[in-house]
Amino acid sequence: MDIYVVMENEELYVKAFRTYADALSVVKTKFGEELEGGLNENPDGKTYLYVEKGIHIWIYRLPVD
């Protein structure tokens, strides 16, 4: 089982998510049209998104025992 956390400019969101879709949905709801480019999903469980005005978003997949 995994959980997903979101980091915005080196600050973690206070909530963890059960699915990647939930984590991504929160980011899309907050920034919507401001998201530039596409998702940069890595096989190591990290996704990078760039939002205009120097906002950097990372979604991390973390394993839970």
Q: Mind listing the pLDDT tens digit for each residue in 26-39?
A: 998 898 877 765 56
Give the per-residue pLDDT at 11: 96
Q: What is the CB neighbour count within 10 angstroms for residue 47? A: 19
Which amino acid, residue 14? V
Q: Residue 58 pLDDT more than 80?
A: yes
Q: Name the band, by pLDDT with cuts 50, 70 and 90, for residue 13.
A: very high
Is residue 27 exposed (0-12), middle (13-18) or buried (19+ Cβ within 10 Å)? buried
Task: Give how many domains the chain has, as a whole number.
Answer: 1
